[in-house]
């Protein structure tokens, strides 16, 4: 960020960058001042994860906010994102900032602008530099421990509400070297036969595995599940808003499938009620809605769009394939700890292990690629691309939300969309057989590449 910028752009998950490029304490100070100018009131709360750069960025953002007269609460220790959001919603804070690199590599970090109801702000706000603030307008700050206590009270109550005790359960818990381990111990402690903890020591270099809980990052976690005869594995990202699960057969079930299982459980008692997911969600979701008398609604990709959809449709459940689940009776934000409670409760109520429960879902094949291309060029040529995709791939319908999703008669699909963070066009294809998925992917890639060149 340089003097030529007039706005700060918060994207799907806030303002993110590599430290030393477009993010440093000076930038964080400007962001803090700009957020207060935009929000127009205080106090605010600022939380931070355990990356080595996070506390410095949090203090800089607090300094910027104070130059605009704000009163700032700052977490007394590193926190998972859901703990920070929970405090904003259930305190006198009018909004806040969470400093977290989430699933990004150690060199990166970010600032999420949080509104008073816990939702992520997405969009541009005017850039304010605080150099000219006079001393009379400066606010104040304090470090507080209340967010920890407030969250522990709520999560303990949730654990009591959802009976999750199972004397036969063996859990492997992998928290990606983040701060959520302390809260998970409150949830799981005493509820299972045994718990095996891995990657629980705070370390922003991620020696055990990268932060994002992808299947290829969880190979060693799966091996420990097998060695310990675990009945379920729990794997989060560093800041504790994403979680995926490993079944008793040591298979990683990603967010699409976990979200679909949550949906099936919900539809059993709430038939025909809507569940929300982004446009790139697996076709097993729509298959399940047809099989279990449910209803689906799609949004653009990212938490801000999902939350907007929740509000518009008064939905009680939403999810995204990254491992974020939104249970709206808990809040308008994803929470790995609460989602784990709901998973353990669901399995106990079903009287099944996760792998056994997930057998209801059909096997599908998802393939994806990316090609060079900017969002601006994509949007300029979007209509022509849609026409050509329709002409050559012949889908049953095209949903033009966040790109173009081509849906076929059996609900298999192809999605072509510009990346929200990089100069790439992403292409996804999912079908019930691999050859169909690959054939459609290659054709969509060829059409997209030719269209962008014209």
pLDDT grade, residue 367 (50/70/90)? Answer: very high
Judge whether 7-147 and 162-358 match in fold: yes
CB count in 10 Å sphere of residue 328: 16
Which 3 state secondary structure label does DSSP give 387?
helix
CATH 3.40.120.10 fits 162-358, yes or no: yes
Cα–Cα distance between 213 and 144 in angstroms, integer?
Answer: 30
What per-residue confidence (pLDDT) applies to 3?
44
Residues whose CB falls within 8 Å of the CB of residue 351, separated by 6 or more in sequence, listed in order: none
What per-residue confidence (pLDDT) applies to 24?
97
pLDDT grade, residue 5 (50/70/90)? Answer: confident
pLDDT tens digits for range 249-301: 999 999 999 999 999 999 999 999 999 999 999 999 999 999 999 999 999 99
Percent of the chain predicted with pLDDT > 70 = 99
* More reliable by pLDDT, 12 or 382: 382
pLDDT grade, residue 27 (50/70/90)? Answer: very high
What per-residue confidence (pLDDT) applies to 192?
84
Q: Is the separation of the CB atoms in 64 and 95 below 8 Å?
A: no
Q: Is the separation of the CB atoms in 103 and 211 below 8 Å?
A: yes
**Nearest-5° Cα angle at 306, 174 to 104:** 40
Res 132 pLDDT > 90 = no
pLDDT tens digits for range 328-356: 999 999 999 999 999 999 999 999 999 99
What per-residue confidence (pLDDT) applies to 4?
56
Q: Is the separation of the CB atoms in 147 and 79 below 8 Å?
A: yes
Q: Is the separation of the CB atoms in 43 and 71 below 8 Å?
A: yes
- In 134-272, which residue ranges form alpha helices assigned H by DSSP? 146-161, 181-188, 219-227, 255-269
pLDDT tens digits for range 134-189: 888 999 999 999 999 999 999 999 999 998 998 899 999 999 999 999 999 988 88
> Which one, of 249, 263, 446, 260, lies nearest residue 352 by Cα?
249
Output the average pLDDT for the chain: 94
Domain boundaries, the chain: 7-147, 162-358, 365-453
* More reliable by pLDDT, 12 or 407: 407
Cα–Cα distance between 179 and 199 in angstroms, integer?
Answer: 11
| Domain 365-453, CATH among 2.40.110.10, 3.30.70.20, 3.40.50.720, 3.30.310.50 | 3.30.310.50
What CATH number does the domain located at 7-147 have?
A: 3.40.120.10
- Torsion of Cα atoms, 88 then 111 then 115 then 327, to 10°: -70
């Amino acid at each position: 960020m340089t003097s030529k910028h007039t706005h700060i752009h918060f994207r799907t998950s806030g303002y993110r960058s590599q430290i030393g490029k477009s993010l440093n304490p000076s930038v964080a100070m400007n962001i803090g001042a700009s957020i207060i100018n935009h929000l127009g009131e205080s106090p605010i709360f600022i939380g931070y994860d355990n990356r080595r750069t996070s506390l410095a960025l949090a203090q800089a953002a607090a300094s910027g906010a104070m130059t605009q007269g704000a009163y700032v609460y700052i977490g007394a220790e590193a926190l998972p994102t859901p703990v920070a959001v929970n405090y904003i919603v259930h305190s006198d804070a009018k909004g806040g900032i969470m400093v977290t690199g989430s699933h990004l590599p150690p060199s990166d970090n970010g600032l999420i602008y949080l509104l008073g109801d816990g939702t992520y702000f997405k969009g541009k706000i005017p850039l304010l530099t605080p150099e000219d603030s006079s001393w009379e307008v400066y606010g104040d700050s304090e470090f507080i421990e209340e967010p920890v206590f407030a969250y522990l009270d709520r999560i303990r109550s949730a654990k009591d509400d959802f009976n999750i005790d199972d004397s036969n359960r063996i859990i492997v818990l992998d928290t990606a070297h983040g701060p959520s381990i302390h809260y998970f111990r409150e949830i799981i402690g005493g509820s299972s036969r045994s718990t095996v903890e891995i990657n629980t020591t705070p370390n922003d270099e991620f020696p055990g595995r990268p932060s994002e809980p992808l299947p290829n990052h969880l190979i060693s976690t799966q091996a420990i599940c097998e060695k310990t005869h675990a009945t379920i594995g729990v794997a989060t990202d560093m800041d504790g808003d994403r979680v995926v699960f490993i079944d008793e057969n040591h298979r990683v079930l990603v967010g699409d499938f976990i979200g679909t299982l949550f949906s099936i459980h919900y539809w059993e008692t709430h038939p025909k009620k809507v569940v929300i997911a982004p446009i790139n969600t697996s076709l097993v979701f729509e298959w399940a809605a047809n099989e279990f008398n449910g209803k689906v609604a799609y949004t653009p990709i990212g938490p801000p769009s999902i939350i907007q959809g929740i509000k518009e449709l008064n939905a009680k459940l939403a999810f995204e394939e990254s491992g974020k689940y939104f249970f709206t009776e808990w809040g308008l934000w994803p929470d790995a700890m609460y989602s784990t409670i709901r998973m353990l409760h669901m399995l106990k109520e079903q009287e099944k292990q996760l792998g056994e429960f997930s057998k209801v879902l059909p096997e599908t094949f998802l393939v994806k690629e990316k090609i060079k291309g900017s969002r601006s060029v994509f949007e300029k040529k979007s209509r022509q691309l849609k026409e050509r995709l329709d002409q050559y791939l012949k889908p049953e319908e095209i949903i033009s939300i966040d790109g173009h999703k081509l849906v076929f008669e059996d609900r298999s699909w192809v999605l072509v969309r510009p990346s929200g963070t990089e100069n790439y066009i992403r292409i996804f294809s999912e079908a019930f057989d691999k050859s169909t998925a690959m054939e459609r992917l290659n054709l969509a890639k060829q059409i997209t590449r030719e269209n962008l060149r014209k």
